[in-house]
């Protein structure tokens, strides 16, 4: 047996921005027996989850499901549509954008990385703001020969808590009549923040199971466009396991070319039923709940008198909130205190902002009271570490949640 009883009673608060807490319903769905992945029952399950996941991406185009972490789906997206030496324009919004860039370089893709310049409180502006479309436009405008084959952006930058405007990137490509593909990492954005694969004209959307979809880690996605599928027919980067063509073909009857992760598909089916349930408002209800949770958490951070990592209120993430600490404190020491004393995991500062900030996830199987518990853990931990707080953040969040009830979907929409 694993020793998971450091705190013998109560529930551990997993408040990192992924993996997120998995609902009991989803955990129980995974305890069903394994079935024949070539049998008739499996075909029904396969067709159902493929239909459901299309609704979540808001697309009518194929969605590929991989038994891999999000990183695998990043690679799949790149190697299906690009050839060695192709150039891509990538936008550095934070650590995950930087990792995707590193992967593209390793695959032999030429990368141009753009980022907002300057710093704010010792932190790169690029890591405190969303994608600036004028910077993208500048590069596209100068690219007369259309050397740039794809523009790659992260929708919800999980390392910082910033959600970029993807539709604006599409509009820029259209205005400049640039044929580059639009590839978007919405690994942590999907099923938390509004995301419209078709309406926003995204060519490849990449996502993962363990964030907004409330599943365990180990499954990831590529949502495609007809243009991306066409590009995949001519792209020369080596691809075999990741190749879309055979998967699309077999998915038509609900099967995969290899043994898929049956139990995660049970979980996906259950999670999609929860997310799409009209009684709780469907996808729009999901987005509204995340937005409200984020507001509550930010009201706490503001009451403490600490800074929110995202410096632009118009792109605050509904998924997580980055909390900056005064320079003289080590955010990881605070996290450690909160973990050891109060049994709550918070996200660490990644890459360039390690030690400067911690992240509070407000996604997955969470609600007002779990968030208030989390904020209480933070508030106690900050005080234990000697950080002076202006006022009680827990009180501010209670006031916010109490005076802003979750709006129920109207009966006529059910």
Residues that bind ligand PLP (CB under 6 A): 18, 69-71, 96, 154, 158, 185, 187-188, 208, 211, 217
Q: Which residues have a Cβ under 8 Å from the Cβ of 290 and sit 6 or more positions away?
A: 192, 193, 212, 318, 319, 362, 363
Whole-number minimum distance, CB 392 to ligand PLP, in Å?
30
Q: Which is nearer to ligand PLP, 70 or 381 (CB)?
A: 70
> Strands 204-208 and 181-185, how do they pair?
parallel
Whole-number minimum distance, CB 47 to ligand PLP, in Å?
25
Q: Using CB atoms, what's the residue nearest to ligand PLP?
A: 70
Q: Which is nearer to ligand PLP, 346 or 397 (CB)?
A: 346
**Which of the 8 DSSP states describes residue 412?**
G
Whole-number minimum distance, CB 71 to ligand PLP, in Å?
3
Whole-number minimum distance, CB 100 to ligand PLP, in Å?
7
Q: Which is nearer to ligand PLP, 54 or 69 (CB)?
A: 69
Q: Where are the beta strands (DSSP E) in 275-319?
A: 307-308
Whole-number minimum distance, CB 317 to ligand PLP, in Å?
10
Whole-number minimum distance, CB 324 to ligand PLP, in Å?
19
- Answer whether 221's CB lies under 8 Å from 50's CB: no
Q: Which residues have a Cβ under 8 Å from the Cβ of 154 and sit 6 or more positions away?
A: 91, 93, 94, 96, 97, 100, 164, 184, 185
Q: Which is nearer to ligand PLP, 188 or 366 (CB)?
A: 188
Angstrom CA distances, 221 to 71, 199, 354, stand at 10, 18, 29
- Answer whether 128's CB lies under 8 Å from 122's CB: no
Q: Which is nearer to ligand PLP, 192 or 375 (CB)?
A: 192
Q: Which residues have a Cβ under 8 Å from the Cβ of 396 and sit 6 or more positions away?
A: 299, 300, 302, 303
Whole-number minimum distance, CB 189 to ligand PLP, in Å?
7
Euclidean distance between CA atoms 3 and 144, whole angstroms: 60
**Which of the 8 DSSP states describes residue 352?**
G
Q: Which is nearer to ligand PLP, 136 or 192 (CB)?
A: 192
Q: Which is nearer to ligand PLP, 18 or 322 (CB)?
A: 18
DSSP helix/strand/coil, 347: strand
- Answer whether 163's CB lies under 8 Å from 362's CB: no
């Amino acid at each position: 047996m694993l020793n998971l009883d450091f705190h013998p009673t109560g529930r551990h608060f997993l408040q990192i921005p992924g993996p997120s807490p998995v609902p009991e319903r989803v955990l129980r769905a995974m305890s069903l027996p394994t079935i024949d992945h070539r049998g008739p029952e499996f075909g029904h399950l396969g067709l159902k989850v493929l239909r459901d996941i299309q609704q979540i991406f808001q697309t009518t185009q194929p969605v590929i499901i991989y038994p891999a972490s999000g990183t695998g789906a990043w690679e799949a997206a790149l190697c299906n549509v690009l050839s060695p030496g192709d150039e891509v324009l990538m936008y550095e919004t934070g650590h995950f954008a930087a990792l995707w860039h590193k992967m593209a370089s390793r695959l032999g893709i030429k990368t141009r990385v753009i980022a907002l310049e300057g710093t704010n409180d010792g932190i790169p502006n690029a890591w405190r703001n969303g994608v600036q479309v004028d910077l993208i436009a500048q590069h596209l405008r100068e690219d007369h020969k259309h050397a740039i084959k794809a523009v790659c952006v992260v929708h919800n930058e999980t390392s910082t808590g910033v959600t970029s405007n993807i539709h604006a990137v599409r509009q820029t490509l259209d205005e400049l009549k640039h044929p580059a593909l639009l590839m978007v990492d919405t690994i942590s954005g999907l099923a938390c923040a509004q995301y419209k694969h078709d309406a926003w004209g995204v060519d490849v959307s990449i996502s993962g199971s363990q964030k907004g979809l409330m599943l365990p880690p180990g499954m990831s996605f590529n949502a495609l466009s007809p243009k991306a599928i066409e590009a995949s027919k001519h792209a020369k980067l080596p691809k075999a396991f990741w190749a879309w063509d055979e998967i699309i073909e077999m998915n038509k009857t609900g099967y995969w070319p290899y043994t898929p992760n049956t139990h995660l598909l049970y979980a996906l089916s259950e999670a999609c039923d929860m997310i799409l349930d009209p009684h709780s408002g469907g996808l729009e209800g999901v987005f509204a709940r995340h937005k409200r949770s984020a507001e509550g958490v930010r009201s706490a951070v503001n009451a403490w008198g600490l800074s929110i990592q995202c410096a632009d209120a118009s792109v605050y993430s509904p998924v997580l909130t980055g909390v900056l600490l005064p320079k003289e404190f080590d955010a990881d020491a605070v996290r450690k205190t909160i973990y050891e004393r109060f049994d709550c995991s918070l996200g660490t500062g990644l890459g360039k902002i390690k030690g400067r900030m911690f992240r509070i996830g407000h996604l997955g199987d969470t609600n007002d009271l779990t968030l208030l518990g989390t904020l209480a853990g933070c508030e106690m931990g900050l005080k234990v570490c000697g950080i002076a707080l202006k006022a009680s953040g827990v009180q501010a969040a209670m006031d916010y949640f109490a005076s802003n009830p979750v709006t129920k979907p109207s009966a006529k929409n059910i």
